[in-house]
Amino acid sequence: MSKFWSKRTHELDPYTPGEQPQDRQYIKLNTNENPYPPSPKAIDAMRAAADENMRLYPDPAAASLKQAIADYYSLNTNQVFVGNSSDEVLAHTFVALLKHDKPLLYPDISYSFYPSYCSLFGINAKPIPLKDDFTIAVDDYKQGNGGIIFPNPNAPSGIALSLDEIEQILRANPDSAVVIDEAYVDFGADTATPLIKDYPNLLITQTFSKSRSLAGLRVGFAMGNQELIEGLERVKNSFNSYPLDRAAIAGATASIKDKDYFIQTRDKIIDTREKTSRALGQMGFDILPSAANFVFAKPLHHDAETLYKQLKQNGVLVRYFNAPRITDYLRITIGTDEEMAILLEKLSELL
């Protein structure tokens, strides 16, 4: 600790990202990265953008990207916000929409950045316990609050809510912003974007990192009622007017327009997830139903932390959370068929 730190800095409990060890080559199944490369059209667009115009500032509104997202989801551009990763978009959302006197509600087992944001921005929060089967208890969100946020599908469970359940939460909270973090929605859940027209309190965040294979580009976005988007724009322009560079705007725009490539790689991941889930079940794992690009797996006859360490020693990284209620589980990102075959082979040897 430092005497130069502010009081708030001393109080922070920072987010811990998945490990990125450099000591050897690993099969990385720990950070939910896409195993397939980005759209070739996105790569070409980024290369083309890296020209002499890099001396100029990018478009602060990223108008071409907003238009591509709006076209994809049948929205208007004033219903779209873009930022440097969905984490930054979420950070702006916490400040713009979720910092109120009443507590913010979110699941007790969820994206671990949420409590970090609450600590950073001084937001009063009330974690809501998941049910014993790790599903979100919809009725528990029908109470006084200053806002609601949850991922759909949830992480690290991978379990998704239906649109009907989401509507129940929206209807019960007309005076609060309800934020749905759809980082993994493309892998098996239904996006709530069709509900935007009926619910002015709904904000949806998404990312290009997962289903679009652009984690290295750091592009995220939000969609919702124009009033909510204006709130995000006010915060963004009080923080960084140029969050996306020229290459990022060009690459993300080309990526979302390349629907065929997106469908091809997404379907491969879904197919591999289902095959992997069946194989893990046959090996003695309890697998939660996943609509994401990972599975949450509980070894029924072995210690999860020990298995995580043994897999790492054998060159395979998975994610272990030393946290209440989930210490018996491993989160396993879905890689290629070849990578998952190696995982299963190593597990077979260890078990």
The topology under which CATH files domain 15-37+260-350 is Aspartate Aminotransferase, domain 1 (3.90.1150)
Name the residue type at position 162: S
Q: For 4-24, give the DSSP string.
A: TS-HHHHH-----PPP---SS
Cβ atoms 157, 138 nearer than 8 A:
no
Query: Quick check: do 15-37+260-350 and 40-257 share a fold?
Result: no
Q: pTM value? A: 0.95
- Please check whether residue 211 is in contact with residue 255, taking contact to mean a CB–CB distance below 8 angstroms: no
Average pLDDT over the chain, rounded to whole?
A: 96
- Average pLDDT value for residue range 62-66: 98
pLDDT at 17 over 90: no
For the ranges 11-15, 80-84, 174-178, 267-271, the lowest mean pLDDT is seen at: 11-15
Residue-range domain boundaries for the chain: 15-37+260-350, 40-257
**How does DSSP assign 251-318, residue by residue?**
HHHHHHH-HHHHHHHHHHHHHHHHHHHHHHHHTTEEE----SSEEEEEESSS-HHHHHHHHHHTTEE-
pLDDT of residue 11: 85
Whole-number Å distance between alpha carbons of 159 and 166: 13
Residue 53 DSSP label: G
Dihedrals φ, ψ of 202, to 5°? -95, 125
Q: Residue 23: pLDDT above 80?
A: no
Q: Cα(242)–Cα(79) distance, rounded to whole angstroms? A: 19
142, 172, 248, 336 from 168: Cα distances, Å: 9, 6, 37, 37
E strand or H helix at 169: helix 163-172
Give the model confidence (pLDDT) of 202-213 as tens digits: 999 999 999 999
The single residue listed with the structure tokens 């809510």 is 161
Torsion of CA 177, 123, 17, 138, to 10 degrees: -40
Percent residues over pLDDT 70 in the chain: 99
DSSP secondary structure code for residue 247 in this structure = H
**Rg, the chain, Cα only:** 20
Largest CA distance in the chain: 60
In the chain, % helix, strand, coil (3-state, to 5) comes to 40, 15, 45
Q: Per residue in 251-285, pLDDT tens?
A: 999 999 999 999 999 999 999 999 999 999 999 99
pLDDT in tens, 108-145: 999 999 999 999 999 999 999 999 999 999 999 999 99
Rounded Cα gap, residues 307 and 33, in angstroms? 21
N residues, the chain: 351
- State the CATH class of domain 40-257: alpha beta
